[in-house]
Amino acid sequence: MFKALCAGAITLHLIGEDNLAEVSTLFQGYPDSPEMLAELFRSYLPRYEGGQRTNFGFYSRLGSELAGLALLTVDSWDERCGSTGADVFRHMRGRGVTPGSKPHLFYLAFELLGLNRVATGCRVSNLSSRRSLEKTAGLQLEGIMRESGVNEQGEFEDEYLYAILRRDWLALYDQAQVQVLA
C-alpha cells in the first residue's frame, strides 16, 4: 500500500491505523481543530468491505503547511464507482487546496483502483464549494438532488451533484504528474 500521493504543491498522506495518533496530533492547535478532528474521526478513517479497503482518507499539505482532509470512497466495486469529499482548515480556504487535490484522488480512483466514475457534490448554499467544483477539470454538473442533506440549521437542503468518468480523466489529466510515494 502507498503512503502518499504528490502532484504540484499538494501532497495527500494516507490515513491509516498506523499513523492515526500522529495525524490527530497534527490537527490540534488551530481555531477550527475541534470540527476538523470530529470530521476526521467521522469520515476519514479506513473502512473495509469484504476485505477490500473502501474508504481512503488523507490529510493534505500545501507545501509544508497542513491544509485539511481529502477523501475517496469506493461506493460500489461491482459498478466501479466512488465519491470524493474534502474539508479544509478555514485559514487555508481559497488557496486551491480542494480542486488541487482532485488529480490525486482521480489518479487513485481511475489508475490504482480501476473505477469508472467518481461523483462529488455540495449543498446549494455552499457557494465556495460550488466554485471549487466548477474549477475542477472534468467534473460535470449532473443535476440537483432535492433535499438530500441537512444543513447546519437542521433544514433539508438540495445538493448539486457533479461527476467525472474515467474517459474524461484520461483525456484531461496527465497521469505522470501524480507521484505515488511508498
Residue 38 has a pLDDT of 97
175 DSSP 8-state letter: G
Amino acid at 154: G
Residue 107 has a pLDDT of 97
Residue 1 has a pLDDT of 79
84 DSSP 8-state letter: E
- Between 142 and 128, the more confident residue is 142
CA distance 80 to 114: 7
Of the candidates 61, 55, 26, the one whose C-alpha atom is nearest the C-alpha of residue 42 is: 55
- Angle at which helix 97-106 crosses helix 127-135, to 10 degrees, equals 50
Residues 157-171 have a mean pLDDT of: 96
CA distance 74 to 128: 25
Residues with Cβ within 8 Å of residue 9, at least 6 apart in sequence: 62, 63, 100
If pLDDT is split at 50, 70 and 90, which confidence band does 132 have? confident
CA distance 104 to 6: 7
The predicted-structure confidence for 108-124, as pLDDT tens digits, reads as follows 999 999 999 999 999 99
- State yes or no: pLDDT of 2 exceeds 90: yes
Domain total in the chain: 1
**CATH classification at residue 33:** 3.40.630.30
Amino acid at 180: V
Of the candidates 168, 175, 181, the one whose C-alpha atom is nearest the C-alpha of residue 140 is: 168
pLDDT, averaged across the chain: 95
Residue ranges making up the domain that contains 105 = 4-181
- State yes or no: pLDDT of 128 exceeds 90: no
Check if the beta carbon of residue 138 is closer than 8 Å to that of residue 164: yes
- State yes or no: pLDDT of 178 exceeds 90: yes
Residue 17 has a pLDDT of 94
Instruction: Please give the angle made by the CA atoms of 96, 97 and 103, to the nearest 5 degrees.
Output: 100
If pLDDT is split at 50, 70 and 90, which confidence band does 95 have? very high
Report the predicted TM-score, pTM, of the whole model to 2 decimal places.
Answer: 0.93
- State yes or no: pLDDT of 151 exceeds 90: no
The predicted-structure confidence for 41-90, as pLDDT tens digits, reads as follows 999 999 999 999 999 999 999 999 999 999 999 999 999 999 999 999 99
The predicted-structure confidence for 37-48, as pLDDT tens digits, reads as follows 999 999 999 999
- State yes or no: pLDDT of 20 exceeds 90: yes
